[in-house]
Amino acid sequence: MVRACMVSVGALRYFSLLALAALLAASPGCSFSRASGWDAGEGAGDAGQSSGPDTLLPPDSDAGSKLASDAPQTCVATTPQTSSLPPDVLIVLDRSGSMNDMIDGTTCRGGCGAQSKWSQMTSALDAFIPTVQSSVNWGLKLFASPGPNTCGISNGVEVAPAANDAMKIVGAIAGTTAGSSTPTTAALTAAAAYLQTLKDGNPKFILLATDGIPNCGSSPCAPGVDSSPNSCDDANAIAAVKTIHDDLSISTFVIGIGTASGGGDATLTAMAQAGGYPRAGTPSYYPVQSADDLTQVFQTVTGMVQSCTFSFTPALDPQTQMVSGVFADGTSLRTSDYMISGNGAIQLVGQACTDYMSGKIKNVVVKVACVVG
């Protein structure tokens, strides 16, 4: 038998993650809601009796908030804990030869130096990542992997996602140069496989930054694409992003570095849409034409991975509990509007995340189905 239990959380936007309460396996239908305030004169109510409307009690010494419930005897009151699990974001960075060109695609005799896409983008990364290293666990995977094989991809990463590790990313970038092919499909697949090995319980994201068409494949390239005629891999790259999102619950943000000059608009658009966090507007990926553009994109992505992720403590018992629905201001969200991340978090994606960031969505409610006997 499945009994529905509602866990309601007043949404605190931007830099606060919200607490979502999980219920015990034997709980029948229960309704919990976070009140807007509390009255010290009100009784707390007893978890074993019906006590009228839910009441928010004064904070404990540990700064947590307790909920007293109107639930019947077998429903146990829980203590939602506001959790700020830092998301694990793996930057998958293109180091292909075209990254040595200027942002408009111009090839420089002897190299473009500080004006190259590689120099501008990596300088922006070097400057920005240290400013947010305590709130996001950043990691880095280069593609192709450094080595003689220009289409080669290693199984690991250059820098594992971790807090306060920005200088490792800066050092890894400084220790390599652009000059490979663009094995996007293999890089994404390896990145997702690596993220699956992390058992920290944190939400997982891929941030793909690339300047062109996925190659190292065998499909014909579109006219005008600066690549060998039969080396493109667009369809496989799009399919990889979709599989990573749909089957592994890992979202992908897509940044296009100077892509207006090198083609690939349709491919990156499809990848961004399949990844779960398309940009509002056209194109669906994040176009970057300068170092300042990249910094702004990183600021946007950082806000989204923090603000649109809701962790709940204690985590659900996968044997007896499940998230059966998510509601925004009383309206049921489509399953495509959110993802369940493990047993302890949900992520709003796409337009739902955008609406939450803008304040259009103010309250998020998660429906937990308690499987009994």
β-pair partners for 139: 90
Q: Which one is predicted more confidently, 48 or 172? A: 172
Within a domain: 48: no
| DSSP-H helix ranges across 153-290 | 166-174, 184-196, 234-248, 265-275
Residue 198, domain member (yes or no): yes
Per-residue pLDDT at 85: 67
Whether 32 shows a pLDDT value over 60: the answer reads no
CA distance 81 to 322: 19
Q: Is 173's pLDDT higher than 90? A: yes
Q: Is residue 311 part of a domain?
A: no
361 in a structural domain: no
Residue 327 pLDDT = 85
- How far apart CA 51 and CA 40 sit, in angstroms, is 16
E-assigned strand segments in the chain: 2-10, 30-32, 55-56, 67-68, 88-94, 137-143, 159-162, 204-210, 251-257, 286-288, 309-311, 321-328, 331-332, 338-341, 345-348, 363-371
Mean pLDDT of 44-56: 30
The string of pLDDT tens digits covering residues 226-266 is: 667 778 899 999 999 999 998 888 999 999 998 755 568 88
Confirm whether pTM is higher than 0.85: no
**Tokens at residue 370, please?**
């308690």
Q: pLDDT-derived band of residue 35, with 50, 70 and 90 as boundaries?
A: very low
- Residue 213 domain-assigned? yes
Residue at 336 is within a domain: no
**At what angle are helices 265-275 and 234-248 packed, to 10 degrees?**
10
Mean pLDDT of 160-185: 94
pLDDT computed for residue 70 by the predictor: 28
Region 113-142: mean pLDDT is 92
pLDDT band at 271 (very low <50, low <70, confident <90, very high): very high
Q: What tokens appear for 155 in the block?
A: 């199984």
Q: Are 54 and 35 in contact (CB under 8 A)?
A: yes
Helix axes 117-128, 291-307, angle to 10 degrees: 40
**213 — pLDDT class (breaks 50, 70, 90):** confident
Q: How many domains does the chain have?
A: 1
Contact (CB, 8 A) for 312 and 345: yes
Model pLDDT, residue 52? 30
Q: Is the pLDDT of residue 38 over 70?
A: no
Tell me the mean pLDDT in the region 13-37: 30
Mean pLDDT of 181-203: 93
Q: Model confidence over 358-368: pLDDT tens digits? A: 889 888 877 77
Please state the rounded mean pLDDT for residues 198-221.
Answer: 89
For range 212-226, the mean pLDDT: 82
Q: Are 225 and 214 in contact (CB under 8 A)?
A: no
Q: What is the pLDDT of residue 367?
A: 78
Average pLDDT over the chain, rounded to whole? Answer: 75
Q: Is residue 9 part of a domain?
A: no
- What's 302's domain CATH number? 3.40.50.410
pLDDT at residue 227 in the model: 67
Full domain range(s) for residue 280:
88-306
Quick check: is 321 in a domain? no
